[in-house]
Amino acid sequence: MNSKDLFERCLHVAPGGVHSPVRAFKSVGGNPLFFARGEGAYLYSVEGERYIDFCQSFGPNILGHRDPDVEKVLLETVELGWCFGACEPYSLELAEYIRQHLHWVHKIRFVCSGTEAVMSALRVARAATNRPYVLKFDGCYHGHADSMLVKAGSGLAGEASSDSAGVGHAIAQQTLVCPLDDEAALEKIFKAHPGKIAALIVEPMPANYGLLLQRPEFIQKACDLARADGALVIFDEVISGFRVAFGGMTERLGIEPDLVTYGKIIGGGLAVGAYAGKSLLMDQVAPAGPVYQAGTLSANPLAMRTGLATLKKLKSANVHAALDSRTLEFTHSLKTIVAKKGFDVVSMGSVFWIHPKVTKPLRSLGDLPAGMGDLYRKLFHALLKNGIYLAPSGYEVGFLSLAHTPEILGDALSRFEEALREF
């Protein structure tokens, strides 16, 4: 069994041979690797090769693959039941734990993905405000709901156009789009659509087009403009929630949203999402209110119990402090290594991004340097050859986990050096 043969078989049964586009290696070239198992900081390919994994399933595995404490809970839960489609105590325990530690979460609804969480939060916002438009930012990704697959258009302030086939013009027009890090453009959009914007949605740590760290002043200005106009503020913390701090960027910034979306970490590596916020808004959701949203697999026991085990370990093992320290030390050394080939590293918490060196901070799509794809393609394959697995796209970020011990990170730095000698 090898990856090349498996991919050729997959091409006959799945679109592009994959079940999520970035897995196809389209942006880096070559055939995707197939992995048979993961453990701690490592992934093991079907060929039997071991790789230090800095993708960590695009973020959920903050404790690493198959953390033994979480695995124990998962195996216990398998014997209790997988999916009930009925009320159970496990989602209650997770919801109470989250609300206990995040005071801006009054009520929460569990779903099965970040996309579903965002889609539902936007529906709540429109219902609560009785307004037609949603405002998003170019450079923030909020899943593949139709109204979020849009890009900046031309003409009127904030005008959007479809960013995917199958998204109709009328749907695209319900979303307004603003550049990141541009207060003037933001003010112009609110002036052009007074009293019409239901919500402003933003990744407070944009991490899907690279790590575009925002000035806190810009996030605060965006929230102030929204609230002055009567619009709600939605923080998309699917990536940053429980990752850059237990309370995510909401905690780091000290700015509280009206609604917030989560995913990734709260399932402990299983499929999960959630939207949460103030009771007045969340009580709009059925069966308490008129906003319909449902899901057969929502709050399934496996994801609820592994999620709670993960969050409890984040607290008991002081994981965020350990990861912050390790990431700072790792990225400081990594900067020196990659600088020799014209790259730089930026980080927030345990999230990092390698990008071509530039003269100013990268905060918006317009700041991204030309030729990023070609440079990253070479880097990716050089690292892969030397046992390092990063996400197969130069616009995806990397993640450290608790399983990335100082010894493993030291080994990773040596592998980076070796790869760049061959670059």
Catalytic residues: 141, 236, 264
Residues 45 and 33: beta-carbon distance below 8 Å: yes
**221-223-229 Cα angle (round to 5):** 105
- CA quadruple 260, 133, 396, 217: dihedral, nearest 10: -70
Residue 244's nearest CA partner among 399, 410, 64 is 399
Q: How far apart are CA 105 and CA 270, in angstroms?
A: 22
Quick one: CA dihedral 323, 328, 332, 333, positive or negative? negative
Helices 89-101 and 301-316: angle between axes, nearest 10 degrees: 30
- First-to-last alpha carbon distance for the chain, in angstroms, is 29
Q: How far apart are CA 268 and CA 303, in angstroms?
A: 7
Q: Is 40 left (phi over 0), alpha (psi -120 to 50) or beta?
A: left
In what order do the strands lie in the sheet containing 343-348? 343-348, 351-356, 398-399
**83-85-89 Cα angle (round to 5):** 75
Tally the C-alpha atoms within 13 A of residue 320's C-alpha that lie toward its C-beta: 20
